[in-house]
A and B are shown apart, each in its own frame.
Chain A
Amino acid sequence: MELRKYCLLFKWAAMGMALIFLTGCSILAPKPAPKPEKTEVGRHLPPKEISPEPVPKTVEEPPVPKPLLPKKERPAEPPVNQQTPMALASVTFSQQGQAYLKNNKPDEAIRVLERAVNLNPRNGENYFYLAEAWIMKGNASQAREFNRLAEIYMKADPEGMGRVQSQKERINKLK
């Protein structure tokens, strides 16, 4: 009977120590969140690490977790700048298109730039130059559509975005 009492006491004491220790740890160092359990609804997404969040010092009020920052890319997919053979092949047509534009040949430029887009739909430059060709042809509505596509794909490139913005202004001036 006595032994059982001591065991129970020891158990509570051990638990209490563990609790204090773990609380201390959680206050002193940011604790990584438990790995998300795979659920049926969530099967569509690969599991990912959640960025650690510092625990606030006050413990009276329940903490308000901030929504996690959106991920830019899914881990399972290749990064945008990874050049596939198709993407590399498209560069040739992209350059041809730019050369045609320099020579004031918008129809020829569009012909090859469309080929470049079909090979690599992720390259914003192709949409930018397609918009240029449509400006040259005086077609504001098509120029606007391609300018918008350029904007989607060039958002990570500040220099490119500058060009896209100034292109947009030129399009708005078109009748």
Chain B
Amino acid sequence: MTVLYLANLTEGMDKRFAGRLWDLPSKIYSDITLLYPGQALNPPLLLEKLDRLGYRPVSGTPSKPGEMRFSKTALEIYLHEFHSPFHEQKSASVWVGLKDSRVTSITRSDMDTKGAILELEPEVLMLYYGPDRERRQLISIGQLPAHLLHAVMAAEDRGFYGHSGIEIRGILRALVANLKEWEISQGGSTITQQLAKNYFLTPERTLSRKFKELLIAGILEYKFDKDTILEMYLNEIYFGQEGPVSINGIGEASRFFFDKSAADLSVSESAVLAGLIKAPNQFSPHRNPERCTSRRNEVLEAMHKNEWLTAESLEEEKARPVKVAPYRGYHQQAPYFMDYLTGQLTSLYSRETLSSEGLSIFTTIDTEVQSAAEKALKKGLERLEAANPSLKRQNPGESLQGAVIVMQPKTGYILAMVGGRDYGVSQFNRAVQARRQPGSAFKPFVYLAALDQYTPVSMLDNSPQTFMVNGQPWTPKNYYAQAEPEITFRKALAQSQNLATVNLAYGMGLERVTQIARAFHFSAPDDPYPSMALGTLEVEPLSLARAYCVFPADGVLPFPLSIREVADTGGKTIESRHATIERLTTPAKAYMMSDLMRDVVRDGTARSLKQMGVTWPVAGKTGTTNDSQDAWFVGYTPNLVALVWVGFDNNDSIKATGATAALPIWADLMKALPQYVSGEWLPLPSGIETLTICADSREIAREGCCPRIMEEIFLSENQPETLCRQHECSSNLEKVWNGIKKILPSF
């Protein structure tokens, strides 16, 4: 019976343990970074990126992989080696000439060609260990300094290399203590027992579990040598919780607490980490520096007692202050995007596969854009709170929030996603999970739907009216009461006039609003209501950002893409994701909307963008909902679409508009990304006619007859065909007379 039980236990353990031994977490990568001649750079963002990639600045010429030197005139970098299914990077030195933060030339030691493109390897954004978001950097015992092993043994199990997995004295001592309280309260476990406990068993403290633990420890000692057990232990052990992430393993702990690799830990630092194992949160150097220091000293004393530390070294080490890396919250890169990605990945692979089969997952994220988006949002929200202290909240969980999404319109690549202000405080991903009213940011879809019947010069009724909705009167208002009673289609959108937009929606039929909303994959009710035209349908920010891609992408809606490639441990591609597109409108209509939305930035609600330093061609639309519950700006160039949302989770008023709250964040973000600014605007597609029309009658201008003329673009299928009827010249003589009147007005 006993033999059978043991065999069963061994088999079960083998299955789980052998698997665990070879478990490899999946690595999630950013996209590669390109450097090419003529490219404008944002040096601080690039340097941060190089630091994250493990490139360290040196004073001389970089001579080893991972070294770099940066100056105003050049970036010299010795590349790491990197292999992926689509990126083969040999270790080589590269010279990137710079002038005024622009790349002038690129020269590689391994290639003759000048002017080559430099592709920097992708960054590891996360290691996927499991659903609980553990952080771990695996180490091998050979890399670790002896004093670290000694510190851990001194703190947890000084006789580790001598016992056979179980220490009878420890067990007896624990038994006596536990019998007094009639429950298991004291551990007294060896490293092997702790490992057994960590791997296989639930945290409850019962006698039968203790018994099982002893048996497993025995089997572990039988099957593995001491070094392997210690290595597994060091990679497994828990070092505390930082926000939503648990820190596991000595490699991760040394990176987090001391910002260095475990191989470089000093004696004192080793003792701090070894001391943490007993009660990670109680002895945390961030939370309890005094208790951490005294616990470290205990460990140092124990090391000395075991002759692993001389008396002089002991005094020397004890005198050292505990210096830890500044508390960074737990800065995980693009944490909201990681959650979004995990959702996408788990539809492809099981969590077990992801946490054990060592897949390489290459994403679309550009960490420079991500970092710029995070910074712009943080700064913008702080600026709003400083300008209006009533927006501040005592509880950080209720504070002013925001979301930013940056996409590439033609391919739908998600370059950045920020789902909130602080992932440590709130993991709710507002970029994809929040459903908010877009307000006026929805209007472009209404105007797009109206393009078959209306032209940019069509006049819209902008006077106050009361509509009956389900038997109830509804009187929409314009933001500014003194708006013109009649306004052109173009101006109504630029100035975001509500009354004109509702009248427009009525004019073309409300069902057209429902149709267009559904075409853009927004959910819309079967029974349309007029306020839909003013953006009262709730949308997820990602859907809205995606919908705006249609305008710079010639009328094509891209699928939002986050995963590009998945490769197995051998580097073989097992999954490729490509841009998939769906035609929603004609290139001419898409262009027309972009032209109309350029006026939003030129003369309309977003005209302050120019003063904020955005001087290149941009189109976009602001949005503010009732009582300023939401502030939006969605803006784009031919290369990027970026959406900014600001609001409170509980719908409190932010007391600001899209132009004052969201637009400055957008401007900060775009200014930080010179590498994405081409300065170009969209080319004129077929199906657009530019006509000279009379500014008074808005009909085709009669040359020489109409006193005020202007140019306007029209869809070929919907353009004015009548000549101006207000200014009819009966003969050439009259035209001449008109000309003379202009030349000699005072005669």
Give chain A's interface residues, CB within 8 Å of chain B: 18-19, 22-23, 26-27, 31, 33-34, 36-39, 41-45, 48, 50, 53, 55, 59-60, 62-65, 67-68, 70-74, 77-78, 80, 84-89, 92, 107-108, 110-112, 114, 117-119, 121-122, 142, 145-146, 148-149, 152-153, 155
Of the candidates A34, A70, A111, A119, the one whose C-beta lies within 8 Å of that of B565 is A111
B38 and A84 within 8 A (CB): yes
Of the candidates B36, B410, B735, the one whose C-beta lies within 8 Å of that of A117 is B410
A41 and B740 within 8 A (CB): no
**Chain A nearest CB: distance from B308 CB in Å?**
53
Of the candidates B617, B678, B689, the one whose C-beta lies within 8 Å of that of A84 is B678
A15 to B709, CA, bound (A): 27
Among the 9-residue stretches B169-177, B298-306, B539-547, B596-604, the one with 4 or more Cβ atoms under 8 Å from chain A is B596-604
A43 to B552, CA, bound (A): 22
CB-CB under 8 A from A73, the residues of chain B are: 683-684
**CB of B314 within 8 A of chain A?**
no
**CB of B728 within 8 A of chain A?**
yes
Of the candidates A63, A68, A155, the one whose C-beta lies within 8 Å of that of B686 is A155
B736 and A23 within 8 A (CB): yes
A33 and B704 within 8 A (CB): yes
**Would A65 and B731 be within 8 Å (CB), given that A22-B736, A39-B710, A48-B711 are in contact?**
no
CB-CB under 8 A from A110, the residues of chain B are: 576, 578-579
A108 to B85, CA, bound (A): 9
Among the 9-residue stretches B160-168, B513-521, B580-588, the one with 4 or more Cβ atoms under 8 Å from chain A is B580-588
Apart from A26-B736, A36-B708, A62-B728, 10 more pairs, CB < 8 Å: A36-B709, A41-B491, A44-B490, A64-B723, A65-B700, A73-B683, A89-B39, A108-B86, A110-B578, A121-B639
Of the candidates B86, B587, B737, the one whose C-beta lies within 8 Å of that of A111 is B86
Among the 9-residue stretches B151-159, B243-251, B335-343, B690-698, the one with 4 or more Cβ atoms under 8 Å from chain A is B690-698
B739 and A118 within 8 A (CB): no
CB-CB under 8 A from A18, the residues of chain B are: 740
**CB of B187 within 8 A of chain A?**
no
**CB of B452 within 8 A of chain A?**
no
**Chain A nearest CB: distance from B264 CB in Å?**
38
B710 and A45 within 8 A (CB): yes
Q: Which of B709, B723, B728 has the most CB of A within 10 A?
A: B709
A123 to B597, CA, bound (A): 24
A110 to B134, CA, bound (A): 35
**Chain A nearest CB: distance from B696 CB in Å?**
9
| Closest residue on chain A to residue B701 by CB atoms | A65
| Closest residue on chain B to residue A133 by CB atoms | B578
A50 and B554 within 8 A (CB): no
Identify 5 residue pairs between A and B in the complex whose beta-carbon atoms are under 8 Å apart, listed by A's number. A19-B733, A22-B739, A84-B678, A145-B556, A152-B686
| Closest residue on chain A to residue B487 by CB atoms | A41
**CB of B34 within 8 A of chain A?**
yes
**CB of B536 within 8 A of chain A?**
no
A122 to B723, CA, bound (A): 36
CB-CB under 8 A from A119, the residues of chain B are: 34
**CB of B272 within 8 A of chain A?**
no
A88 and B36 within 8 A (CB): yes
Interface positions, chain B 269-310, Cβ under 8 Å from A, are: none
A-B pairs with lowest CB-CB distance, top 10: A42-B710, A85-B38, A89-B36, A39-B695, A45-B711, A70-B689, A36-B709, A107-B576, A71-B690, A70-B690
A26 to B598, CA, bound (A): 39
